[in-house]
Chain A
Amino acid sequence: MLLEQLINGITLGSIYAIVALGFTLVFGVLGIINMAHGEIFMFGAFIGVIVTTTLGWPLWVAFLAAIAVTIILGYMLERFALRPLRGKQGVSHLAPLISTIGVSILLENLSHHLFGAGNHPFSTTFAEIHYKIGSITIYLVQIFIFVISVILMMSLSYWLSKTKAGKALRATAENLETASILGVDTKKIITLTVIIASAMGGIAGILVGMAFNSVNPQMGLSMGLKGLAIIILGGMGNVKGAMVGGLILGLSETFIVAYGDSGYRDAIAFIAIIFILLLRPQGLFGQKTSQVGR
């Protein structure tokens, strides 16, 4: 029982971690909280539903389609909601936040009209396959989700630390102007960051669809808010923090549902946000900076 819950928690936590990574990348480079990330994630999930359930195509096509659509959405988000605000005089730091809130509301309600309200089932061919090890049951889906998340996280870490584009991204995150002087095409890097973050959101969307077997227009909001909670927990713009924070939230939610009151499951994330912000605003792994929230 405990082991099973642990596995459930890790599965959920690894999905949360991927969602949170999308937030953390954008925040690290742009210093912006992308409130629309949850909705881009939700679009990814819906593309998954359409491809696998409505069209009956294989799962890998769903992944490709979701990545393609979320990349387009990410590009449009950057082009129309973030770029016009950049480098403009006299715009407060709240403007991009409000702008992305606008995109999130727009996408959520657009999906109401495009896909219809209510729950959509997400059927995969191997949803029922499971293995019994002693007394515990592990579903293949869970292993699949876990493996994909680990691969994603590892490749992102590798990309960030070893490749030229990754280094350019980190340089931009460190200081936009200096990076630009040193020959980094910051405009391109910023667009790339938003696109990568969105694509990760799209992948996470499909994984969530598989894990819960249901997709609805509201899931973006709740997942987005949880992703926010995680990056605050782990420290803004901190890749490692996002992963650990995701696991912590996933495990604590699973255990609250198993051993406590399931109704308060969604409140954990926000109570955590409030306490973390009050006690340790830089997050668990964040460094204290003099200029927070720029």
Chain B
Amino acid sequence: MLGEFINPYYLQVGSFIMINIILGLSIYITLSSGQLSLGNAGFMGIGAYTSALLTINYDLPIVIGIIVGAVVAGIFGILIGIPSLRLQGVYLAIATLGFGEVIRVFFINWESVTRGAVGISGIPHIGRELFAFFREMGFDPSAIGLKNNQFVYLLVLIILLMINILLVWFFIRQNKSRVGRAFAAIKMDEKAAEAMGINITYYKVLSFTQGAILSGFAGALFAHVMAYISPADFSYHRAVEILIFAVFGGSEVIWGAVFGATFMTLMPEVLRFISEYRYVIYGLVLVVMMAFRPQGIIDVSGLEWLKHKMPRGRVAHGSKNSKHL
């Protein structure tokens, strides 16, 4: 019955989508205060390595590993974020890009801990650990008509889905709060925002650190879903891929990042022949989007149009950003 519809491969792709959505959110949140960070792949790597090493070497539970990974990434975010405030626009982008590369070089060279370019394998898998837990409780997946591996992947997907719903809800709330409005004000015009009494330093570091924590969190999840990580997973290409999520989907609204991550993860899976040319297409997407639709596929006016079409939708007075991206 249920088991016939569930293909572990689809579940796996679903899990990747969920992780990529978190990464998309991480760049969305730094972009929402007008900062472009290309170091999210580095933060992701920090989260992944921290969590993987903690759970392997010290036998800590995965949950603690993931939380510590996200926190460590966040601490790095603060450390990088505070001095980077002196930098604007492209300078910040380059400094963070440099940071990401330094992190990757350290992962490759610090062989005694990170096992170098070979990477770390045998990382505890979220699904399998949970499965073992359920089995101890005396639960058998065949009771609901599922095979073991289907059950494992389904568990992972459900957990990630819940995390995502929580995160999206949190950031929608935040956008409507004092913090979100401060971000938007800084994005529109930093000097004007400062003149209005917004503490620029605090909010810029906050937004940058939120991005770092999210990337670290996504990285830790990535490690425990893949069960294998290597420095190549956190290279410049990953940074660009994360950037694509926001640029393609839309960097004005949270749904843009969600849509971008979903679409960009699905596309190479659905169209297998594209997979080989994936990065070529990524490149084209960046160029074309910048030329024709810098705000991304989903923008504020598009969402408002949708709300009009919805029967019970409220029409929000969203301020239209004049500055895209």
Contacts and interface: CB of A to CB of B under 8 A. Distances in A.
Interface of A: 33, 80-81, 84-85, 90-99, 101-110, 113, 221, 225, 228-229, 232, 261, 263-264, 266-267, 269-271, 273-274, 277-278, 281, 292-294
A221 B108 CA distance: 17
Q: Taking chain B's interface residues, is the majority helix, strand, or loop, or is none over half, making it mixed?
A: helix
A103 B287 contact: yes
B322 interface: yes
B126 interface: no
Given A102-B284, A106-B280, A92 B86 contact: no
Interface stretch (B1-9, B99-107, B147-155, B176-184): B99-107
Contact of A267 (B106, B240, B278): B106
A226 B179 CA distance: 37
A241 B91 CA distance: 17
A113 B108 CA distance: 27
Interface in B281-310: 282-287, 290-292, 294
Contact of A93 (B83, B90, B283): B90
Nearest to A93: B89
Contacts of B325: 91-92, 94-95, 98
A104 B243 CA distance: 14
A106 B99 CA distance: 23
Interface string B82-93: 011011111101
Interface of B: 34, 36, 83-84, 86-91, 93-95, 97-99, 101-102, 105-106, 108-109, 236-237, 240, 243, 247, 277-280, 282-287, 290-292, 294, 322-325
A108 B88 CA distance: 28
Contact of A105 (B87, B97, B282): B282
Nearest to A110: B280
A221 B325 CA distance: 24
Contacts of B280: 105-106, 109-110, 113
A233 B189 CA distance: 28
**Interface pairs A-B: 9 shortest CB-CB:** A102-B286, A106-B283, A270-B98, A84-B291, A105-B283, A263-B109, A293-B89, A99-B290, A109-B279
A108 B105 contact: no
B204 to A, nearest CB: 14
Contacts of A80: 287, 291
Which of B34, B36, B93, B94 is packed against the most chain A CB atoms within 10 Å?
A: B94
A70 to B, nearest CB: 18
A281 B91 contact: yes
Contacts of A94: 36, 89-90, 93, 325
A274 B287 contact: no
22 contacts: A95-B290, A96-B290, A98-B36, A98-B286, A99-B287, A99-B290, A102-B285, A106-B279, A109-B279, A109-B283, A113-B277, A232-B94, A269-B98, A270-B99, A271-B102, A274-B102, A278-B83, A278-B84, A281-B86, A293-B87, A293-B89, A293-B91
